Amino acid sequence: MSDMRKELEQKAKSLTLEERAELVEKILESMHETPLPGIEAAWTREIENRVAAYERGELKTVSAEDVFAEARRLAR
């Protein structure tokens, strides 16, 4: 562990719970790159297409109860 990391960890521990939570949030935000505009646009189109297909009755739906039952079955 680097000296700087040790020092930062020590200082972080002296922060209030709220301050530490804010710090963690900022650190996590810094780890995520901004999505490329093309990817964001593609996801937006995909969402719009799926919603439209659902509204036209073209998508098969599954109840939440069935989804959770299947998840429990697979988790065993």
The reported pLDDT for the residue numbered 46 is 97
- What is the per-residue pLDDT for 6? 92
DSSP output for 19-65:
HHHHHHHHHHHHHSPPPPHHHHHHHHHHHHHHHHHHHTT-S----HH
- State the pTM of this model: 0.44
DSSP 76: -
Distance CA 12, CA 21 (A): 10
Instruction: Provide the pLDDT for residue 32.
Output: 78
The model's pLDDT over 13-63, given as tens digits with 9 standing for 90+, comes to: 999 999 999 999 998 888 877 777 788 899 999 999 999 999 999 998 999
Please count the other Cβ atoms lying within 10 Å of the Cβ belonging to residue 15: 12
The per-residue pLDDT for 39 is 86
pLDDT confidence tier of residue 64, bands split at 50, 70 and 90? very high
**Contacts of residue 20, Cβ cutoff 8 Å, sequence gap at least 6:** 12, 13
